[in-house]
Copies of this chain bind each other. A is one copy, B any other.
Amino acid sequence: MLGGMTNSRNPSRYRAVADRLRAQIRDGTYGPGALLPREEDLAAEFDEDRGTINRALKVLLAEGLVVIKRGKGTYVTKIPVIHRNAASRYNKDSRERNGGRGAFDTEIRALGMTPRSDLTLGRTTGDQLDDDVVEVLLLDGHTEVVVRHRVMYADDIPVQIATSYIPASIADGTPLAEQDSGPGGIVSRFADLGLTQTRITETITIRPPHDDEARTLKMSPDQRLYRVLHVGWAGDRAVEATVHLMPAHHWELEYEFPTDADREDATG
């Protein structure tokens, strides 16, 4: 009575268990924040080996549906999905509308949660940066960049790491190199410097977290994060690059853009 499968839909017992638990989470049997029975009890309930249950819970963990606390138990995830609208983040109206708070604050408050963020300032050269950041900022081994490293929380749960890189030649002597970048965020500061960002590009990839990122964001290695490389352009010059790391299961990303019929280069 080993191995085997029930049908083609559920190739394995642990996936079948995962499916059943997932359904129970969705239908409210186990609501947000609820503590699931311990694995041994689930094993008895489903008449499976504990190993099978453990594997099933790993599936749900990878999907971000549960949070497993070693030594304590397995809980249903609390956070709703956070919506990030890229366009409105960099829209002047929006920036001023929310009273000088950043876009992140708005996103989190929209969910009735409390935003918080920790900022660390630093500087470095291209050696230790991701290749694409180096490339877009035209860095060589010597050029220094100011690093603004932010860890963002919603109700004390870490939901994003955002690291901005600004060439020191631009940032030095401005609020960009200071702890408090002032109302409206750094985009407004660039405008003050005469470096109005007219164009934004964002490149999205998905990958597992590195060890340090997993620690900071309290993620399992089986979970995935969005890596968004955000670049602000003043003309053809990249004046700022920011890498956003967000647990994929917590976020939904939205983009909005005009087609060429609506742009200056439209011909018809």
Contacts and interface: CB of A to CB of B under 8 A. Distances in A.
Interface of A: 9, 15, 59, 62-63, 81, 86-87, 90-93, 187, 191, 196-208, 211, 221-222, 224, 226, 248-249, 252-263, 265-268
Number of chain copies forming the complex: 2
B199 A252 contact: no
Contacts of A196: 259, 261
A31 to B, nearest CB: 21
**Consensus secondary structure, chain A interface:** mixed
B254 A92 contact: no
Contacts of A265: 93
A266 B202 contact: no
Contact of A252 (B90, B205, B254): B205
13 contacts: A59-B221, A92-B261, A92-B268, A93-B260, A199-B257, A200-B257, A201-B255, A202-B254, A206-B224, A255-B257, A256-B257, A257-B258, A258-B263
